[in-house]
């Protein structure tokens, strides 16, 4: 028995589809009918910088395995419940982040996962992540790249007392590490909140996380090779608050945020893959809030919607999510998010592997 429905995406003609046994199939005359004619469909929302093992930025200052295990299913269900069906988990305290891959694939979001975050001693919050000395970086990623959920996460820069932010690894170390990870079929994401951004782009890093100090040249280079940028504006605003706007760090951050107002429209114009990521600055499932911030900082409603949905699908190879045989997953909205991205905050219907997760039609 199949269920017929209409898939009306924000662009293009509505298509008649059906689903059966959890996957999309051709529309047919004998099935049920799920009325989605007046709704706008996306394959799902996507959070490209989540940490499913954690619930608050404070967790980086100390979290146990037990709490991480306990958080994981709850945070994943919270995401699905708000229509966030694709998650890029950008790592955590240890490789325990990979447990999300063990949960029921029909219930959890689609996930790609980095393991423990890699940094040298003094290069991130003490005791969080995996400490790897600069000269050991290449050997370390050679060992772990193929054992992760598609990603390796490196911390690119971190403030040192009295010196401000310094790069954690040299350009050559980073470039070689990127090559090794690519050869293993995985991707590299880098945490960069200061000047490591340009070297990371030049080294071929796949995804720039935060990146307030990306330059126009960096964005051109990213666009040319299909690189991604996850600005995490909500998180940046949180960090600014935490540092205090008058501190030296706060002033630096303010400068970076101001620069984002130029860089986001430029990224849209150049065709950089901009992805929405929450980084725990809002509750799990609220990537729509980041999409609204991206608009506030210069993306069009259309680009902000794409950043929080289809861009991440394309980026992870899910280029035709409504094709025959693909998982019957979709999120529907009453209003067209390309006209007002705020529509993403109110999913009317969520379908995941053919199961109706939420129905507020």
Residues contributing to the site for Zn ion (CB under 5 A): 279
Q: Least distance to Zn ion from the beta carbon of 285, Å?
A: 16
Helix (H) or strand (E) holding 281: none
* Minimum distance from residue 232 beta carbon to Zn ion (Å): 7
What's the token pair of residue 288? 């729509």
Q: How far is the CB of 350 from Zn ion (least distance, A)?
A: 25
CB 278 within 8 A of CB 232: yes
**Nearest to Zn ion of 157, 279 (CB atom):** 279
Tell me how far CA of residue 361 lies from CA of 16, 42, 150, 335, 341, in angstroms: 19, 16, 36, 12, 19
Nearer to Zn ion, 114 or 132 (CB): 114
Place of tokens 């280079």: 221
Q: Kindly state the smallest distance separating residue 56's Cβ from Zn ion, in Å.
A: 12
Closer Cβ to Zn ion, 176 or 238, answer by number: 238
> Which one, 213 or 332, has the nearer CB to Zn ion?
213
Q: How far is the CB of 59 from Zn ion (least distance, A)?
A: 11
Residue pair 119/131 in contact by the 8 Å Cβ criterion = yes
**Nearer Cβ to Zn ion, position 125 or 270?**
125
Nearer to Zn ion among residue 96 and residue 266 (C-beta): 96
Measured CA to CA, the distance from residue 22 to residue 157 in angstroms comes to 44
What HEC string does 33-58 produce? ECCCCCCEEECCEEEEEECCCCCCHH
Q: How far is CA 140 from CA 92, 177, 263, in A?
A: 17, 9, 33
State in angstroms the smallest separation of the CB of 21 from Zn ion.
37
Nearer residue to Zn ion within complex by CB, 294 or 328: 294
Q: Is 68 helix (H, G, I), strand (E, B) or coil?
A: helix
CA distance 130 to 296: 35
Question: How many CA atoms does the CB half-sphere of 93 hold within 13 Å?
Answer: 21
Q: Pairing state of beta strands 45-50 and 118-119?
A: unpaired
As a whole number of angstroms, the distance between CA 91 and CA 228 comes to 17
Q: Give the nearest distance from C-beta 51 to Zn ion in angstroms.
A: 6
Q: How far is the CB of 289 from Zn ion (least distance, A)?
A: 16
Q: Which is nearer to Zn ion, 87 or 138 (CB)?
A: 87
User: What are residue 104's phi and psi, to 5 degrees?
Assistant: -45, 110
Identify whether the C-beta of residue 16 lies closer than 8 Å to the C-beta of residue 6.
Answer: yes
């Amino acid at each position: 028995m199949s269920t017929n429905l209409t898939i009306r995406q924000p662009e293009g003609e509505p298509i008649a589809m059906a689903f059966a046994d959890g996957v999309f199939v051709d529309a047919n005359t004998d099935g049920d009918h799920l009325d989605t004619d007046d709704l706008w469909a996306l394959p799902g929302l996507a959070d490209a910088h989540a940490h499913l093992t954690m619930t608050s930025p404070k967790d980086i200052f100390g979290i146990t395995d037990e709490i991480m295990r306990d958080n994981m299913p709850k945070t994943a269900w919270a995401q699905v419940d708000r229509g966030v069906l694709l998650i890029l988990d950008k790592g955590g305290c240890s490789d325990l982040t990979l447990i999300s891959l063990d949960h029921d694939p029909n219930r959890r979001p689609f996930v790609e996962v980095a393991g423990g975050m890699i940094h040298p001693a003094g290069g991130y919050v003490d005791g969080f992540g995996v400490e790897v000395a600069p000269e050991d970086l290449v050997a370390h990623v050679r060992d772990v790249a193929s054992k992760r959920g598609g990603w390796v996460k490196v911390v690119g820069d971190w403030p040192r007392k009295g010196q401000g932010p310094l790069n954690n690894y040299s350009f050559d170390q980073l470039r070689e590490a990127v090559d090794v990870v690519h050869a293993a079929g995985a991707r590299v994401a880098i945490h960069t909140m200061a000047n490591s951004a340009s070297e990371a782009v030049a080294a071929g890093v796949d995804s720039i996380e935060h990146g307030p100090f990306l330059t126009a040249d960096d964005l051109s280079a990213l666009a040319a090779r299909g690189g991604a940028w996850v600005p995490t504006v909500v998180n940046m605003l949180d960090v600014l608050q935490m540092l205090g706007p008058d501190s030296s760090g706060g002033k630096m951050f303010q400068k970076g945020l101001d620069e984002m107002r130029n860089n986001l429209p430029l990224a849209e114009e150049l065709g950089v893959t901009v992805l929405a990521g929450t980084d725990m600055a809002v509750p799990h499932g609220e990537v729509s809030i980041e999409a609204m911030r991206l608009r506030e900082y210069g993306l069009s409603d259309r680009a902000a919607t794409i950043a929080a949905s289809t861009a991440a699908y394309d980026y992870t190879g899910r280029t035709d999510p409504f094709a025959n045989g693909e998982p019957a997953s979709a999120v529907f909205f009453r209003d067209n998010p390309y006209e007002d991205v705020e529509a993403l905050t109110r999913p009317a219907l969520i379908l995941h592997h053919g199961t109706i997760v939420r129905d507020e039609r």
